[in-house]
Structure 1
Amino acid sequence: MKSYLVNIMKPFDLTDNLEKDVIQLLQIHDKHIIADHSIRVAAEAKKLARQFNVNPDAAEIAGLLHDISGIFPNHKRIEVAKQLSIDILPEEEKFPLIIHQKISKVMAREVFGIDDPIILDAIGCHTTLCANSTTLDKVLFVADKIEWDQTGTPPYIQHLLTQMEKSLEHAAFSYITYLWDQRDSLKVVHPWLADAYFELKEITQKSS
């Protein structure tokens, strides 16, 4: 584990049960909502993985760990990213919430010993998606949007679920379009999100 993470994380004991460890770490940092969200995303990702022929265990692991960096408040995330030698985009510097996906990727590797690049990459783009995304990337992305971490019903959920009857790409594009249509009011438009938008737009138009 990188020494910087050791110094800034509250001590906790790793076991051979990943779900237990994730919950323990988040609860130690009083992130009970994130813990509940992570469990629900892991279950949804595992279900979607079976539906779209992806390794369900990999999807569950990615779901459990995707928001593990939530232990760090927004105002500390850029400094954490710098200490972990993470490349920081101008949009992330302006809106630090987004960089949690990259921090979670590093924590999954350095704290929890995940070495599968497919799992790590899915964690690393679960908020924005990206171009050339894998099926696991899209499974985690969609699962995160279905089991969102806010109260009430997601305003986009019915259209997303309807589009998922067509394909996983249609479902992912549905949510990205929801953001894209209000991009002028967003704090930033992450370039990875823009890349995913134009790529999925072409893919879904061809298959319609």
Structure 2
Amino acid sequence: MDQNHLKSLVKKFLVEHNCLKTYDHCISVGEYAYELGKNYLDEPDKARIAGYLHDISAIYPDDQRIAVAKKMGIDLYKEEIELPMIIHQKISKEIAFNEFNVTDPVILSAIECHTTLKEDYSDLDLVVFIADKIKWDQQGEPPYIEGLMIALDHSLEAAAFYYIDYLLNHGIQVLHPWLNEAYVKLKYDLGYN
């Protein structure tokens, strides 16, 4: 898929839904994921595509996400019902598939777990997860950025572990099962047991 064509499709889709700020974030994450992916992936373009589409579900506010997910046939965890913001990653995957014709399961996986990661993560999942944390959608610098970048000098896994560990020690609202499973696996893979 041509990157400029996809960029314009994403822009059109988000502008039509008054989500221009989300467009800027998606493009920023996609470009950063591509650059990061050049160091870790055989096909870094896949990271760019996943980044461009990761927050495409911003068209649905939090209070609509449970209903939208059910309509799309998405299974939800009780943690997602408790904090509907998290559902956006699964909805984005469905929109990428249904509206943008993304059929590559590796790209769809990276979109689907970009907020929580998951136990059976791929390098692409890690790249998009980390890119989203570095190019976050809030004002200013992320409070965890310095430690995350130091960890990233070691590996993608170390950076992902650092971020999740930071969350767990700074009042995470709900502990999503995928996040917990990813944390346990990262801890084991990094030999932190």
State whether TM-score is above 0.5. Answer: yes
Name structure 1 gaps, 5 residues minimum.
Answer: 1-15
Please give the residue correspondences for 1:88-107 in structure 2 after superposition, counting only pairs within 5 Å.
Answer: 88-107=76-95
Deviates more, 1:16-25 or 1:59-68: 16-25
Q: Quick one: distance in 2 between partners of 1:167 and 1:106?
A: 30
* Residues 153-180 of structure 1, C-alpha deviations (whole Å, 9 max, x = no match): 0000111110111111001111111111
**Are the counterparts in 2 of residues 92 and 99 from structure 1 also a CA contact under 8 Å?**
yes
Asked if 1:28 corresponds to 2:20, the answer is no
Q: Which residue of 2 aligns with 1:194?
A: 180
Alignment RMSD: 1.3
Q: Quick one: distance in 2 between partners of 1:51 and 1:45?
A: 10
Identity of aligned residues (%): 48
Q: Quick one: distance in 1 between partners of 2:23 and 2:42?
A: 24
Q: Quick one: distance in 1 between partners of 2:21 and 2:77?
A: 28
Q: Which residue of 2 aligns with 1:11?
A: none
Please give the residue correspondences for 1:168-183 in structure 2 after superposition, counting only pairs within 5 Å.
Answer: 168-182=156-170
Q: Quick one: distance in 2 between partners of 1:148 and 1:91?
A: 22
Name structure 2 gaps, 5 residues minimum.
Answer: none
Structure number with larger C-alpha Rg: 1
**Are the counterparts in 2 of residues 74 and 96 from structure 1 also a CA contact under 8 Å?**
yes
Secondary structure of the 2:190 match is helix
**Correspondent of 2:57 among 44, 63, 69:** 69
Q: Which residue of 2 aligns with 1:130?
A: 118
Q: Quick one: distance in 2 between partners of 1:134 and 1:193?
A: 14
Q: Which residue of 1 aligns with 2:145?
A: 157
Asked if 1:166 corresponds to 2:164, the answer is no
Q: Which residue of 2 aligns with 1:5?
A: none
Q: Which residue of 1 aligns with 2:127?
A: 139
| Cα shift at 1:187 | 2.3
Q: Quick one: distance in 2 between partners of 1:129 and 1:156?
A: 17
Q: Which residue of 2 aligns with 1:53?
A: 41
